[in-house]
Every structure is written in C-alpha cells, then in structure tokens.
C-alpha cells in the first residue's frame, strides 16, 4: 500500500461550505483550502514554516520552523475571529521525532499556556512541503464563549506536551491519541503489536466514556481523571 487518504464528512451540512484560501501556489497545486467552515466547527489545514507566499522560512532549524508554524496558526485564527482557547484539537507531524519531540513539546506548551487542547503527534519520514520538519493541523470552535471543558489523567506526558486527554464541547468530545500504557503511563506490551493494540483500545474506552462525558461520568469511567 503506497497511499492512504483520511477525510471527514459532515452529512448535516449543505453541499456548499465556506472555504478560505491564502493564494499560495500549493493550495492550487494540491487542491485544498487553508480553512473550511463546517457549521460551528472550523477545520484548518496543516501549518508549516511558510510565509504569506507559501515559501519556507526557517531552513533546517526545527525551533525556527516551530515558531513560524505557530505564528501561522495565529494568523489563521485571526482570519476567522477565533482565539487559541477555542482550538479543541491539534494534530502534529514532525520529522525525526526522537530528536525533535521535546522541542515541539516546549513550543506547544508556550503557545497554549495553561489551556490544554486534545492533541496527537506522529513522527514521519518526510512532509509534503519540501524542507519542512513540522506540520500542525487544528480544529477550532469559534462559537465557544469560553475555553471548553478538558479532562486529564495525570500522565507525565500530558504536562510535557501540554495537552488534555479529552476536550468536550456541547455535542462533541475530542480525544487524544491513545497508546499502550497503564494508569501511571508505563508502556505495555513492548515489542508485542497485539498487546499494544489491545491496551490502546482499552485506553480509548476509558477516555471516551459516553457521549455526554459529564464530570460524574468522567470520574466513573476514567482512572485518576481530573477536570481542569
């Protein structure tokens, strides 16, 4: 298998939706928009270390690339009149994850401060933008009047990366990518793919709870779960 394409469909929306582009050549070449408004939810394409013309800025410096990517996130937020605390989920792709994950964690934490969105991070061999080492995609709820309710499990990497296990809005719960770990965050099933899958799905059950995911429900379903 050489290609896999992931996508999201909103069946409750009319065929026409609001898409915002910034006039970059990559948008035309790849056929995508920077921002798509889907009712109360806004999906924003992955942000790189690029300027307004779509050209890379930071060279091979990962820290510089992270800084510019987060600046671009602020620009996208300004375009839709949203704030950082209305970001409910981030997805991060980075090259050379073992060397760069701590740098990413520091940048993510600095950007969001005390607020913690749900998040997921993947290490990749390369990214679509030549020379890029980091790409950050995110989901926004501009309709929220205050930061959404978040739930954490007291795991060490939650603080390191500054994320929540679950972010809950009125009708949706965004859940952080689940690993094979125990209640204290220790890895389970090292080298055993089937054991890791089983543990990851078990943790997904713990984090998902039911659709409402109220405080009492969270306390019942989640180990060491705290509301923030």
The Cα–Cα gap between 13 and 26 comes to 27
Q: What is the pLDDT of residues 166-201, one digit of tens each?
A: 777 776 777 767 778 887 778 888 888 888 888 888
Cβ neighbours, 10 Å, residue 74: 13
Mean pLDDT across 54-79? 87
Q: Does domain 17-177 have CATH number 3.30.1330.40?
A: yes
The Cα–Cα gap between 89 and 175 comes to 8
| 1 pLDDT above the threshold of 70 | no
Mean pLDDT across 46-61? 78
pLDDT tier for residue 16 given thresholds of 50, 70 and 90:
low
Element (H, E) at 69: helix 62-80
Locate the domains of the chain by residue range.
17-177
pTM of the model: 0.74
Give the per-residue pLDDT at 208. Answer: 65
pLDDT tier for residue 15 given thresholds of 50, 70 and 90:
low
């Amino acid at each position: 298998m050489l290609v896999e394409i992931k996508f999201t469909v909103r069946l409750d929306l009319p065929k026409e939706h609001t898409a915002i582009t910034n006039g970059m050549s990559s948008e035309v070449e790849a056929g995508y928009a920077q921002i798509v408004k889907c009712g109360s939810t806004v999906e924003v394409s992955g942000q790189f270390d690029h300027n307004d013309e779509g050209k890379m800025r930071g060279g091979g410096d990962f820290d510089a690339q992270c800084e510019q990517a987060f600046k671009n996130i602020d620009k996208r937020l300004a375009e839709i009149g949203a704030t950082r605390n209305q970001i409910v989920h981030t997805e991060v792709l980075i090259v050379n994850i073992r060397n760069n994950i701590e740098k990413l964690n520091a940048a993510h934490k600095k950007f969001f401060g005390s607020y913690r969105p749900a998040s997921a991070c993947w290490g990749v061999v390369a990214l679509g933008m030549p020379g890029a080492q980091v790409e950050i995609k995110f989901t926004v709820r501009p309709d929220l009047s205050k930061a959404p309710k978040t739930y954490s499990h007291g795991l060490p990497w939650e603080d390191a990366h500054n994320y929540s296990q679950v972010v809950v809005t009125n009708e949706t719960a965004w859940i952080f990518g689940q690993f094979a770990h125990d209640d204290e965050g220790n890895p389970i099933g090292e080298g055993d793919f089937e054991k890791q899958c089983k543990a990851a799905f078990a943790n997904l059950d713990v984090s998902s709870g039911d659709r409402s995911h109220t405080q009492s429900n969270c306390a019942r379903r989640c180990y060491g779960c705290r509301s923030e």
